[in-house]
């Protein structure tokens, strides 16, 4: 989700980093590190919706950026929280409803952003989600709605995608991407289209806390 290697304005970079005490990054003696503050659903919303935490992870990634003609390392740590709910579909109970929250640090060096999440549309994020999952095809947008979470009214996009393979059927995807307190937050809910999960997804969104 992060685009590496854009050339940076040398003069602005030197002034900005020198003022921040980061001369070691310019000279190659050290790397820069950025960490996101985790975003999580509060206990009240989990109790209301029946979702449970199924994954908590803080994956790191090292990128190379060009500074004054030299390559420097930037380390970025993302926070991931995933929640699931068991749903009975076709007489069988399984965890088929999932709500995921990805928090990416806002990385800006010398006025240049090397994290493009803020520039991406929610549709592009949904397309990326579908393209990264080999079982999903033919994503199509259906509607937008407004949900209040993290202190503001936010737009949530609802899309539908086709499930290929033995499972078959369709899934509904609810997605929102927002900027909050220096981080970029992507929230995605996915569930079979035949169940009505929107009110629970909205409750989970309303229960988001950042920092957790």
SS3 142: strand
* Cβ(126)–Cβ(157) below 8 Å: yes
Residue 166 has a pLDDT of 61
Distance from C-alpha of 162 to C-alpha of 149, rounded to nearest angstrom:
29
Token couple for 59: 């994956």
Pull the structure tokens for residue 169: 């059927």
Q: Hunting for tokens 């970079």 — which residue is that?
A: 13
- Model's pTM, two decimal places? 0.78
Distance CA 192, CA 173 (A): 9
Neighbours of 26 (CB within 10 A): 17
Helices and strands: H and E segment counts in the chain: 5, 14
Encode the chain (212 residues) as per-residue pLDDT tens digits: 434 333 333 333 333 433 444 555 555 556 778 889 999 999 999 999 999 999 999 988 887 776 667 777 788 888 999 999 988 766 777 778 999 999 988 876 656 666 656 555 666 666 666 655 557 777 788 899 999 999 999 999 998 888 876 666 888 989 998 889 989 898 999 898 989 999 999 999 999 999 98
């Amino acid at each position: 989700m992060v685009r590496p290697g854009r050339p940076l304005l040398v003069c602005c970079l030197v002034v900005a980093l020198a003022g921040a005490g980061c001369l070691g990054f310019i000279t190659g003696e050290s790397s820069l590190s950025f960490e996101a503050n985790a975003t999580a659903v509060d206990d009240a919303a989990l109790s209301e919706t029946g979702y449970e935490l199924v994954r908590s992870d803080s994956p790191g990634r090292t990128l190379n950026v060009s500074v004054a003609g030299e390559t420097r390392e930037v380390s970025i740590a993302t926070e991931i929280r995933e929640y699931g709910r068991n749903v009975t579909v076709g007489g069988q109970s399984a965890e088929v409803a999932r709500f995921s929250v990805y928090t990416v640090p806002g990385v800006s060096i010398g006025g240049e952003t090397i994290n493009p999440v803020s520039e991406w549309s929610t549709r592009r994020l949904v397309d990326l989600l579908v393209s990264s999952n080999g079982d999903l095809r033919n994503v199509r947008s259906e509607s937008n709605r407004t949900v209040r979470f993290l202190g503001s009214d936010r737009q949530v996009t609802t899309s539908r995608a086709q499930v290929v393979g033995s499972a078959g059927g369709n899934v509904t995807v609810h997605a929102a991407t927002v900027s909050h307190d220096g981080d970029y937050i992507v929230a995605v809910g996915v569930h079979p289209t035949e169940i009505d999960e929107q009110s629970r997804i909205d409750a989970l969104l309303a229960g988001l806390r950042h920092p957790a």
